[in-house]
Structure formats: C-alpha cells, structure tokens
C-alpha cells in the first residue's frame, strides 16, 4: 500500500510534527506499506524526502505537491526538469496546529480524492477553535469552562474579570501563547502574548481539578479507547512540548497512565470522552483532554484531532497501556480510514 506521510508544516508545532513523523518511521511496517515522505518546511515548501530524519530538508529532496486533480490521485514530483506523478492509496497527515489539523490540509485532501487518516474538514476546524468546540459540546450537555472571547480589535477591562483565569489563543495548540493570570496586573500582557499566535483570544475560568485525557481511535460507535491518563503538576500548567528537553521529562508535571483513579471514575472519563468525540463529529482519531473536578464532574478542556505521536506523547502511551502498541495503532488508523472499521 502506497502511503503519503506528510509532516513538518509552517505552524509553531513544526518541530513536534517532525518528532511525531520520526516515531511513525520507527514503527511503520514496510512489509505492508511503501511510505512516501512529504516534508513541509516552516516557510511552506513541500519536499519529497527519504524520511523525517536529520537533514530531511536538504538539497537532495525533490519539490513535490499533492495534486487536487483526482485523476492524478497522489503526488506530482519535479524531477530533472519534468513532472512525474506518484499514485497514493492513502495519506497520513502527521501534522499539528494551524494548516495541519485545522481543516486546511483536510480540504486539500478532500479535493485530491485520496483517503486520509483523521478528522474531516468540519471536525478539524471546529476542534481547532476552542470557543466553538465549547459551544457545541455545551449544547450536547457536556460541561465546559466558563469563557469569553476577545476579538482582534476588542479591549478588556481587567477589573471586570474574576481571577484566576487562563488566557490563550482560541486556535492554537501545545500551550503556545497560554498564560495563567492570577491578578488584573497580568491580564494585558497575557492578552498580548496570546495575540502573537491568534487574533482571537479566549479567556476562560481556571477549572479546579486534575487534568485527565483519553485517546480515541475509530468512528461513531466503533471505537477503541485508550487508558485514561492523569497529569500531576508541581506548579504552573502543563506545557510538555515547550520544555528544553521533553524527551527527558517535564520540569513541572508527571503523567500517570493508567490514571491513579477508581475504576468507575476512569470509566466515566472514557465515556465522557466518547460523548465529546461524537458530539464534535470526530473520526479516525483524537485525544480528548478534560478536567476532573473534586466533585467527580468531568469538564472538557480541548480536543486534539491529530495528537502528538512522539516518544513522550500522551496518545500512543494511552493506547499502549490499553494493549495497542504503536505499529498496530497505525494499522488500525489505516483500517478505519479505508473500511470505516477499526478491526
């Protein structure tokens, strides 16, 4: 099976995407799949390369594009002054953040007619915008934080906010641009930090509780659910991808999987995650992040429609804890894309 694996991208999550692709390369069964590695540089150049290893964006890589012409059904490669085409059976878009999991890449893949792993345009765009995801989830009866939106030209009166709150870009990931604000003196600076990543800013209550997550793979009622994980913080908030050396662990957090919670609580978290997944129209895979309050209420935090797959990422760890190793996880992603079923 010829699989196009797209990685990199021009978002702030470019380095994470490259690490995710490297982990895919370690576990991909090349007896089953013939991979075609398409790296996107931070400036937006598409390159066909030998893999996501060191120097993938060197001069040896060839310019490539994904053809929106369905008769091509794959890649167009510039080779020695002429164009060649490579037909693909499936695309695995190992991309995070803007132009990767926000519906833009999914739109191009829909035009191409090539099956692709992960959520469709609508779910990708919806989950990328935390405020819209909250509105849809809330209408489905799922608890969300209280929040307000600050538009591009809108100002905020710090005296009218109940602290503490989180100030974050409405459409970004991996905690880039996120600040925990405990007093009015910190508010304006936090808004400016968030606006470096998005003109739309989300101001939401700081939910009292522990952070929990759930990995999901599949469509509608046919789902594989990973073990629940739980994040314990010593200070600040969770931001693993911004650590200096995340492979060596976090400076302020410990992740436990399976979560050290009673079985009935873990089941409640899993069932809530599935409800969120379905309410937001997710398919293929997503990681659902939630808060577990002291009273047992589970509150939506956010949904990552293509979560990190690095060596330290939560999604593959939760799946592995549920008995689904990385290589088999890829097989299931392919299966659900082509057949609609995880088995």
Choose, from 312, 314, 315, 317, the residue flagged as catalytic.
Answer: 312
- 303 in catalytic set: no
**287 counts as catalytic:** yes
Catalytic residue among 13, 14, 19, 299: 19
Q: Are 39 and 9 in contact (CB under 8 A)?
A: no
241 assigned to active site: yes
The tokens describing 16, both together, are: 């994470």
- Residues, the chain, total? 343
Q: Which of 98, 287, 314, 332 is catalytic?
A: 287
Task: Verify whether residue 281 is a known catalytic residue.
Answer: no
Of the residues 4, 33, 39, 96, only one is catalytic, namely 96
Catalytic annotation, pick one of 14, 168, 200, 241: 241
Of the residues 54, 80, 185, 247, only one is catalytic, namely: 247
Contacts of the segment 161-167: beta carbons below 8 A, 24+ positions apart = 161/187, 161/203, 162/205, 164/206, 165/203, 165/204, 165/205, 165/206, 166/202, 166/203, 166/204, 166/205, 166/206, 166/237, 167/191, 167/193, 167/194, 167/201, 167/202, 167/203
Q: Which of 16, 94, 257, 288 is the catalytic position?
A: 16
Q: How far is CA 123 from the centre of its chain?
A: 12
Greatest Cα pair distance, the chain, in angstroms, is 66
Whether 308 is a known active-site residue: answer: yes
Cβ-contact 278, 220 below 8 angstroms: yes
For 321, the enclosing helix (H) or strand (E) is helix 314-321
- Would you call 269 a catalytic residue per the annotation? no
Active-site residue among 39, 103, 226, 308? 308
Q: 223 preceded by cis ω (within 30°)?
A: no
16 counts as catalytic: yes
> Does the active-site annotation cover 148?
no
CA distance 240 to 228: 18
Q: Which residues are designated catalytic?
A: 16, 19, 96, 241, 247, 287, 308, 312
């Amino acid at each position: 099976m010829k699989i196009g694996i797209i990685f990199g991208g021009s978002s702030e999550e470019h380095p994470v995407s490259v690490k995710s692709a490297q982990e895919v390369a370690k576990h991909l069964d090349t007896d089953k799949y013939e991979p075609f590695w398409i790296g996107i540089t931070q400036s937006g150049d598409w390159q066909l390369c030998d893999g996501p290893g060191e120097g993938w964006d060197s001069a040896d890589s060839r310019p490539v594009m994904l053809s929106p012409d369905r008769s091509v059904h794959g890649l167009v490669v510039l080779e020695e002054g002429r164009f060649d085409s490579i037909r693909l059976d499936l695309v695995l878009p190992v991309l995070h953040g803007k132009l990767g999991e926000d519906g833009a890449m999914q739109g191009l893949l829909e035009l191409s007619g090539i099956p692709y792993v992960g959520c469709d345009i609508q779910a990708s765009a919806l989950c990328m915008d935390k405020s819209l995801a909250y509105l849809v989830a809330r209408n489905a009866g799922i608890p969300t934080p209280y929040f307000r939106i600050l538009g591009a030209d809108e100002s905020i009166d710090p005296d009218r906010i109940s602290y503490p709150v989180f100030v974050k870009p409405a459409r970004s990931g991996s905690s880039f641009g996120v600040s925990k604000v405990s007093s009015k003196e910190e508010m304006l600076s936090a808004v400016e930090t968030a606006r470096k990543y998005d003109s739309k800013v989300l101001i939401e209550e700081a939910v009292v509780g522990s952070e929990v997550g759930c990995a999901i793979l599949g469509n509608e009622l046919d789902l594989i659910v990973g073990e629940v994980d739980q994040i314990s913080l010593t200070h600040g908030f969770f931001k693993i991808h911004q650590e200096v050396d995340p492979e060596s662990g976090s400076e302020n957090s410990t992740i436990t999987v399976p979560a050290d919670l009673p079985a009935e609580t873990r089941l409640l978290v899993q069932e809530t995650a599935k409800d969120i997944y379905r309410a937001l129209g997710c398919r293929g895979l997503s990681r659902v992040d939630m808060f577990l309050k002291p009273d047992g209420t589970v509150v939506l935090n956010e949904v990552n429609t293509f979560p990190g797959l690095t060596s330290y990422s939560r999604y593959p760890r939760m799946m592995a804890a549920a008995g689904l190793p990385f290589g088999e996880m890829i097989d299931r992603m392919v299966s659900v894309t082509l057949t609609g079923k995880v088995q």
